[in-house]
């Protein structure tokens, strides 16, 4: 158990809908990262937050957004969902922004299925 929690574990929804994925980092970790994992693309970095502020963006679609709250939990919002958004979404956390060399600890993931 990494100490990172994610809810829900599974999510099934329809095209065009909006969903929210939630992540709670390890106790004491200030950075949260979101990744998308699909069979053909592997683990793709989406976005990073540090202590409530956005710090880095990867291949995140404009339909997707995220935020980190004062209690450091984070939410990833996915809107206007398409079939191709079906994937595993992982949250990871690390102790501090510091550098790109912080050890990242991953949560168990949310499996999103768009029908």
- Closest distance to another protein from the beta carbon of 54 (Å): 11
Q: For the CB of residue 23, give the shortest distance to another protein in the complex, in Å.
A: 11
Query: What CA–CA distances, in Å, run from 59 to 8, 13, 26, 36?
Result: 23, 22, 24, 9
DSSP state of 9: S
42 near another protein, judged by CB under 8 A: yes
CB of 68 to another protein, least distance (A): 15
Cβ neighbours, 10 Å, residue 57: 11
Q: How do strand 19-24 and strand 31-38 relate by DSSP bridges?
A: unpaired
Instruction: Out of 11, 81, 90, 93, name the contact with another protein by CB under 8 A.
Output: 90
Binding interface with another protein (CB under 8 A): 2, 4, 33, 42-43, 45, 48, 55-56, 58, 90, 97-101, 103-109
């Amino acid at each position: 158990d990494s100490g990172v929690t994610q809810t829900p574990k599974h999510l099934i929804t329809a095209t065009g809908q909006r969903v929210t994925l939630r992540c709670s980092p390890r106790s004491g970790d200030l950075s949260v990262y979101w990744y998308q994992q699909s069979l053909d693309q592997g683990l793709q970095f989406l976005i990073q937050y540090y202590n409530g502020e956005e710090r880095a963006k990867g291949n995140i679609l404009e339909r997707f957004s995220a935020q980190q709250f004062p209690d450091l939990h984070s939410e990833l919002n996915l809107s206007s969902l398409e079939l191709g958004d079906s994937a595993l979404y992982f949250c990871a956390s690390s102790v501090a922004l510091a550098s790109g060399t912080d050890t990242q600890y991953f949560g168990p993931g949310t499996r999103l299925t768009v029908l």
